[in-house]
Amino acid sequence: MKALYTAEALASGDGRDGQARTSDGKLEVTLATPVEMGGSGEGTNPEQLFAAGYGACFHSALRVVARRQKADVSDSTVLAKVSIGSNGQGGYGLAVQLDVSLPKVEAATAQALVEAAHQVCPYSNATRGNIEVELNVAEVAA
C-alpha cells in the first residue's frame, strides 16, 4: 500500500487509564476504563475512539459511493457502536454495529449504497474477516 497519510498518536500512563495525544496536538484525551468494565468512566476509552473513527470513515465512504451513483445522502448519518467482550480464548474481541440513516433514499438503493460503502471504507476493509460488523439501514423514504 502506498500511504496517502499517516496518523500518529502516543498512548501513555496506565493503558486504559492513561492519556493519548496525536503528534500534531489536535487530539489530546484522558483515557478511563468504562464503569461497565470496573473503571471510573471519567474519560474516553479506545472503543469510543474507534467508534468515532469508524463512523466518520464509513460516512465518508458512503458519500463517495452515493456521489458516484448521484444519490442524495445530504441528511445521512452513521451511528457506530463498538462492543468489547471476551473472545472465549482468554483474550478480548470487538464487534461493530453500524446503523445508517438515509432519509432521502429509497430502501433498495439505501441498502445497495451501504453495502458498496462497506467495500470502499478502509475501516471495513481492515476489519473484514477479523471482527463481526453488522450493517443496519434505518427506515428510509418510500
CATH number for the domain spanning 20: value is 2.20.25.10
The 10s digit of each residue's pLDDT in 38-97 is 999 999 999 999 999 999 999 999 999 999 999 999 999 999 999 999 999 999 999 999
Please state the pTM of the whole predicted model. Answer: 0.93
Residue at a domain's end among 25, 44, 63:
44
**Residue 122 forms part of a structural domain:** yes
| Residues 6 or more apart in contact with residue 88 via CB below 8 angstroms | none
CATH code of the domain containing 121: 3.30.300.20
The string over 2-39, giving b where at least 16 C-beta atoms fall within 10 Å of a residue's C-beta and e elsewhere, is eeeeeeeeeeeeeebeeebeeeeeeeebebbbbeeeee
User: In one letter, which amino acid is 121?
Assistant: C
Total domain count, the chain? 2
Do residue 74 and residue 12 come from a single domain?
A: no
**28-30: strand order across its sheet:** 9-14, 17-22, 28-30
101 is in which domain, residue-wise?
Answer: 46-137
**Residues 64, 140: Cα–Cα separation, whole Å:** 19
Do residue 37 and residue 54 come from a single domain?
A: no
Average pLDDT over residues 103-113: 94
**Residue 142 forms part of a structural domain:** no
CA geometry: angle at 142 spanning 112 and 82, to 5°? 50
The number of residues in the chain equals 142
**% pLDDT > 90, the chain:** 95
141 pLDDT above the threshold of 90 = no
pLDDT of residue 138: 86
**Residues 104, 86: Cα–Cα separation, whole Å:** 39
- Among residues 51, 84, 68, 74, the alpha carbon closest in space to that of 119 is found at 68
